[in-house]
């Protein structure tokens, strides 16, 4: 149990970089010049704040969640956590890749969401597999931020608008 609780701490001591081939918000900080000792704790605090704010928004809505809302909430969660945490690898977006495909079946109008997430991940994996990729990680991170904003807006609207106004909300009998 102790090793499970300590896994993030033990893995982060292995590499010293805020982003390791992952399309995160830290991809825009040059790895050679980053003040790691200062930005790592700040990144943890920022991530915790974002996650707590998200939990508060969901809790405050007091909406009875349906399957469509659950899949969009789950996708947003597995996108926002690795995007905001420092020292994430590209592999930490794998749950988002899988959930995005399920999301695409629930929301065919948002077909571009799973397509974009999986393309971003593909190009991120190229950096690990080949040592380089055709698209800079910083641009992949920007694309990921746009997708997170789209899914986040969808989640927010489904929690706070009437059931008729949003595709994630189902009409209750």
pLDDT string in tens for the chain (173-residue length): 777 677 666 665 556 667 777 888 888 877 665 576 677 788 889 999 999 999 999 999 888 889 999 999 999 999 999 999 888 878 888 999 999 999 999 999 999 999 999 999 999 888 888 888 888 988 999 999 999 999 999 999 999 885 545 555 553 33
CA 118 – CA 124 distance, rounded (Å)? 10
Q: Which of 133, 128, 43, 57 is nearest to 91 (CA)?
A: 128
Q: How many CB atoms lie within 10 A of CB 154?
A: 23
CA 61 – CA 57 distance, rounded (Å)? 6
Strand-pairing partners, residue 19, are: 88
Q: How many CB atoms lie within 10 A of CB 97?
A: 16
């Amino acid at each position: 149990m102790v090793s499970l609780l300590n896994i993030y701490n033990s893995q982060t001591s292995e590499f010293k970089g805020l982003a390791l081939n992952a399309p995160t918000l830290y991809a825009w900080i040059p790895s050679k010049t980053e003040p790691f000792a200062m930005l790592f704790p700040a990144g943890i605090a920022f991530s915790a704040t974002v996650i707590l704010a998200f939990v508060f928004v969901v809790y405050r809505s007091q909406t009875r969640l349906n399957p469509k809302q659950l899949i969009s909430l789950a996708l947003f969660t597995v996108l926002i956590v690795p995007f905001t945490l420092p020292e994430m690898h590209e592999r930490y977006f794998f749950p988002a890749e899988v959930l995005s495909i399920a999301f695409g079946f629930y929301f065919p109008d948002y077909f571009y969401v799973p397509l974009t997430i999986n393309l971003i991940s593909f190009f991120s994996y190229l950096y690990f597999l080949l040592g380089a990729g055709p698209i800079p990680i910083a641009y992949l991170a920007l694309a990921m931020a746009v997708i997170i904003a789209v899914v986040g807006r969808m989640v927010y609207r489904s929690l706070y608008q009437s059931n008729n106004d949003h595709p994630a909300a189902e009409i209750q009998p």
